Structure 1
Amino acid sequence: MVSSVCEEREPGLSMVVIGVDAHKRSHTLVAVDGIGRKLAERTVGTTSEDHLKIVEWAGQWPNARFAVEDCRHVTRRLERDLLSAGCAVARVPTHLMAASRRSGRAPGKSDPIDALAVAHAALREPDLAVAQLDGPTREVKLLVDYRHNLVEQRTELINRLRWHLHEIDPNLHVPARGLRRYCVIDELARRLAGRDGLVARIARELLARCRELTMQINALERELRDRVRVLAPTLLEVPGCGVLGAAVILGETAGAQRFRSKDAYARFSGTAPIPVWSGSSSGKVRLNRGGNRTINCALHMIAITQVRGIGPGKDYVDKLLARGKTRKEAIRLLRRRLSDVVFRALLADEHRAAPAKRPTTTESAPLPQAA
């Protein structure tokens, strides 16, 4: 453990931000005052006992708040332990640290430099999303990510299987997306049963694996449907929002109440446009390619569904097209509007569930109490 403290400090600091550069084996912390001057530095391990030492170390600054780089799998235990101890924790998107590194006086890259960049980014951006204790939405995210991985495996397997089927019989027709259906899989297995040779054997094994993956994917979809209907009934009422889209939004948002406004949520989802004007050319904006692209994709699918006639999106897009907007611009504006609709639905569902909220169980032991 390494620790170094600046010798000169001003008494009565109004605000202290502790930036955290997190890794699997160690966490490096740098404390800065309200104008960004470095106060102290410390490196600790990643166990709950080490996190207790962080809380005790931060106790010398009563108004200190933590800022961690937004890499959830690495920082999840740290965030949980800090929140359980009553500390305020903000999540800093990775791209916000780049400007802090470029403007820093110390060139290069190290854990203390990165932790200092996190703290400076948190000072520069006061409206960052705050971290919350894990709840049911994290379980939804884990299920969504697991299903996504299985779908990718099945797609890769199907592509390989189709080449083997073409080699066995070029006239063997398999419908597009047919290998997701049990009836097509069973019929193809019947036709391959009497074939000899290594290619046919591999094809039969791939087909069996495809059926197994399809069963797992369908089971996960049923589980997600049951969970989402309980957690987000208002979100499901949004026209064009299906169970999988709602599950993606729930898991990636991780609590709408941690955003200060619908505009902050729009920046998080990448639907808020970026201004690109100067002088007399005021009011021009361009596409925001940042933000959470997974939520952005889910909002885009809702927009496309509404444009096809399900919900009010079609009338809105037609009105924009009549004003001279292109189809891409119109759908982009519809996504921005849908971001607000989804944000209000998430808040409504969270407020509805608040009275019945119970303590969240965690997989690992809670933070030990100080002696």
Structure 2
Amino acid sequence: MTSTRPVVAGADTHADTHHIAVLDAATGALLGDRQFPATTAGYRAILAFVAELGELVRFGVEGTNSYGAGLSRHLQGAGVPVREVIRPNRAARRLRGKSDPLDAITAAQVALAGEDLPIPKASDGPVESIRVLAMVRDSAVKARANVLRQIGMILVSAPAEQREKLQKLGEKALLDTLRRSRPGDLLTGVDHATATALRHLARRHEHLTEEIAETTDQLRALVEHVNPALLATKGVGVVTAAQLLITAGDNPHRITGKAAFAALTGTSPIPASSGKTNRHRLNRGGDRRANFAIHTIALVRMSMDPRTKAYIAKKLTEGKTKLEAIRCLKRHIANEIYTLLTNPPAVPDVTDLRPARLARGLSLQTVADHFGVWPMHISTIERGKRRDDDLTHRYRQWLNAA
């Protein structure tokens, strides 16, 4: 018979099994615990087990983005309030011991006590597609960099004649030369074996470059589908936009506000005062990949955006160090990104610009010279790859007046 008393559950998740503990929400008493397979049938059995003990108020799950991802998706799909529980640190586990039942009970206790626990990221929408593609692209980028290192290492110890000939070439010319090379028989000497190894690496580099370009195009299409306003924002590229979407997840409204997003991305100021010193320092916590994405946006804007340059100069004149000025800038960028993630504006239509330019026989270089920018800047605006509302407005007015 199903009980109506309120209960809280906790899950210790593993690759093949999940251990579930259920507590009375009023007293905190353990009502039962059991192990289930990490399968769809197991997830259904978990819900049935909890329902027998009471009316579920909250479910705390460890590893909602790893071993607990499937369980978290199933629970959310069933309308269960799921909260993410951080695994206990090693010091705490040394004090109380460790076992699957103990970890499940701890997860339930944390869920019972914590009203402000984070809501897990949803992982069943287009942002999850972005995450898995971004992971593939990242591994390809690392593999390509490793190929270049291996080529350099082989050249260091290559026979003198080969080394002297190849080390004079730039990276592109070197790779082209190695790809087109025709090594002789491997059994005839180390020269031919070295040339063969270098050709294999150069061809691997070419394959990885094609894979990176393909996955980048796929990421661009997904990002434009999910949040075109984010990709059109000044200083935001495909990779940075993808990472920020991954950090927020398919349910960005789970993040309660700008301050919470700043803490999540490691851009919130941390007090570092002592005695007569009153200061703040950079936050080294949060999602470091998201922090790096925001840092990249800051560097791009510092190099090309007049307003950002003026802001940094103002902070420096106020007595802040460059790092402190960048920290302030990153917080402002984080606030802007949060708004774009939770309430993205419509991206202005720019499809009229290129036909209007071509109808007047104007080249990209002519337009770029008129506005004092690079031709690529105009091209990316026309193709909707870059958002610059002020320049777009002036460009359209100039075309209509021409």
The two structures have a TM-score, normalised by structure 2, of 0.74
Question: In the aligned structure 2, how far is the partner of 1:31 from the partner of 1:322?
Answer: 58
Q: 2:175–2:202: 8 Å Cα contact kept in structure 1?
A: yes
Give the superposition deviation at 1:218: 0.8
Cross-structure match for 1:30: 21
- Counterpart pick for 1:143 among 123, 133, 136: 133
Question: In the aligned structure 1, how far is the partner of 2:220 from the partner of 2:322?
Answer: 32
Give the superposition deviation at 1:316: 2.3
- Counterpart pick for 1:169 among 156, 163, 170: 163
Aligned residue runs from structure 1 range 347-366, under 5 A: 347-349=342-344
Give the superposition deviation at 1:124: 3.4
> % of aligned pairs identical?
31
Give the superposition deviation at 1:334: 1.5
Give the superposition deviation at 1:336: 1.7
Question: In the aligned structure 2, how far is the partner of 1:46 from the partner of 1:229?
Answer: 35
Superimposed CA distance per residue, residues 344-369 of structure 1 (whole angstroms, 9 cap, x where no aligned partner): 101124999xxxxxxxxxxxxxxxxx
From the CA coordinates, give the structure whose radius of gyration is larger.
2
1:169 counterpart SS class = helix
- Counterpart pick for 2:58 among 43, 50, 65: 65
**Structure 2 CA distance for partners of 1:62 and 1:268, relative to 1, 3 Å:** same
Cross-structure match for 1:214: 209
Are residue 42 (structure 1) and residue 37 (structure 2) matched?
A: no
Give the superposition deviation at 1:145: 0.4
Question: In the aligned structure 1, how far is the partner of 2:143 from the partner of 2:328?
Answer: 34
Are residue 156 (structure 1) and residue 146 (structure 2) matched?
A: yes
- Counterpart pick for 2:84 among 76, 91, 98: 91
Q: 1:238–1:342: 8 Å Cα contact kept in structure 2?
A: no
Give the superposition deviation at 1:234: 1.1
Cross-structure match for 2:101: 112
Question: In the aligned structure 2, how far is the partner of 1:218 from the partner of 1:105?
Answer: 48
Aligned residue runs from structure 1 range 1-371, under 5 A: 13=6, 16-32=7-23, 33=25, 37-59=29-51, 60-94=53-87, 97-98=88-89, 102=92, 107-122=96-111, 123-124=113-114, 126-132=116-122, 134-166=124-156, 167=158, 168-173=162-167, 178=171, 185-190=175-180, 192-193=181-182, 197-254=192-249, 255-277=251-273, 284-310=279-305, 312-349=307-344
**C-alpha root-mean-square deviation of aligned residues, in Å?**
2.9
Superimposed CA distance per residue, residues 320-342 of structure 1 (whole angstroms, 9 cap, x where no aligned partner): 21111111111122222211111
Higher mean Cα deviation, 337-346 or 64-73? 64-73
Give the superposition deviation at 1:277: 4.6
**Structure 2 CA distance for partners of 1:312 and 1:88, relative to 1, 3 Å:** farther
**Structure 2 CA distance for partners of 1:311 and 1:37, relative to 1, 3 Å:** farther
Question: In the aligned structure 1, how far is the partner of 2:334 from the partner of 2:121?
Answer: 21
Higher mean Cα deviation, 330-339 or 134-143? 330-339
Question: In the aligned structure 2, how far is the partner of 1:34 from the partner of 1:288?
Answer: 38
Superimposed CA distance per residue, residues 152-179 of structure 1 (whole angstroms, 9 cap, x where no aligned partner): 1111121111222342323524777x45
Higher mean Cα deviation, 61-70 or 42-51? 61-70
The two structures have a TM-score, normalised by structure 1, of 0.80
2:9 counterpart SS class = strand
Question: In the aligned structure 1, how far is the partner of 2:346 from the partner of 2:50?
Answer: 33
- Which amino acid is 1:46 matched to? A
Give the superposition deviation at 1:141: 0.6
**Structure 2 CA distance for partners of 1:347 and 1:185, relative to 1, 3 Å:** same
Question: In the aligned structure 2, how far is the partner of 1:48 from the partner of 1:78?
Answer: 8
Give the number of aligned pairs.
331
Give the superposition deviation at 1:142: 0.5
Question: In the aligned structure 1, how far is the partner of 2:346 from the partner of 2:67?
Answer: 29
- Which amino acid is 1:319 matched to? K
Question: In the aligned structure 1, how far is the partner of 2:223 from the partner of 2:285?
Answer: 27
Question: In the aligned structure 2, how far is the partner of 1:207 from the partner of 1:115?
Answer: 51
Question: In the aligned structure 2, how far is the partner of 1:292 from the partner of 1:187?
Answer: 42
Which of the two has greater helix per residue?
Answer: 2
